[in-house]
Amino acid sequence: MAQIIGIIGGSGFYKPDNDSQKKTINTPFGDATVHLTQLGNKDVAFITRHGVKHSIPPHLVNYRANIYALHHLGVSRIISTSAVGSIIKEIPPGSFVIPDQFIDFTIGRPKTFFDGKFDITLHSGEKRSGVIHIDLTNPYCPDIGNVIATAGKELKMDIHEKGVYVCTEGPRFETPAEINSFRILGGTLVGMTSVSECILARELGMCYSTISIVTNLAAGMQDKISVSDFLKTFDGKIVELRKLVEKVLEQVTFVSDKCDC
């Protein structure tokens, strides 16, 4: 099987620019749509998290099907993008952030494959089944994170190398009181998607890192929050984001001995 990198595009990053082959992957958790293409100098399996018309809200994304499909295709390393709000003024809209920790406030959505009945063989050859307890001391892959940081510096981008991603259920935005509490807990970013993917990727032994684009200050830090406003900010950064992703793909390797994801 050819080596391939997984890309999960978030709000505003809906599909590859170049030609791609659309493929439906049947998984035990439902179907997942993948676009097979080439970006940078790598073969890529691209998944659009919310659908090409942004028709899937964050709490209804089929995270398990998406991650399983990438594993099925032989993907061992995943790079995702996500639009986030900033909880601290030191990270203004327009910034790029590489989260290294998360706090999870989601409820209801499935966040494990291992319900006691599931079994799978990882790319390493390890067999996993039954109930699995994974280590998330370093939830996001530090090796891919370092590649993203290096690529961002080479492109002279405003990129922050650390951040605590607070994940909320959505699809509503948060209240100022919630944002204040997240800040007290040490949060720096707030979003609705990345954590589910991060956990599931780790369960299947896959490296996962995300590029967060700050589209707005969180509730209570500006007059109001609207989807149109944050998409406008995202659209202004999409060219930079695509350049960053391509630069990362040029530099990232398929396997690393620098992490234990």
Integer Cα distance of 34 and 106 in angstroms? 25
Integer Cα distance of 4 and 70 in angstroms? 9
Closest CA to 75 of 220, 258, 249: 249
Which helix or strand (DSSP H or E) is residue 194 part of? helix 194-203
SS3 9: strand
Integer Cα distance of 52 and 58 in angstroms? 14
Contact 83, 93 (CB under 8 A): no
Task: Please report the beta strands in the chain, taking only residues with DSSP state E, as ranges in sequence order.
Answer: 5-9, 21-27, 30-39, 42-48, 77-86, 96-97, 101-104, 119-121, 127-129, 159-160, 164-167, 189-191, 207-217
Contact 140, 210 (CB under 8 A): yes
The domains located in the chain, with CATH, are 5-251 (3.40.50.1580)
Which residues face 120 on adjacent strands? Answer: 128
Ordered per-residue pLDDT tens for the chain, 261 residues: 568 999 998 665 656 666 778 999 999 999 999 999 888 788 999 999 877 777 789 999 999 999 999 999 999 999 999 999 999 999 999 999 999 999 999 998 899 999 888 999 999 899 999 999 999 999 999 999 999 999 999 999 989 999 999 999 989 999 999 999 999 999 999 999 999 999 999 999 999 999 999 999 999 898 777 777 777 777 788 889 989 999 999 998 877 766 777
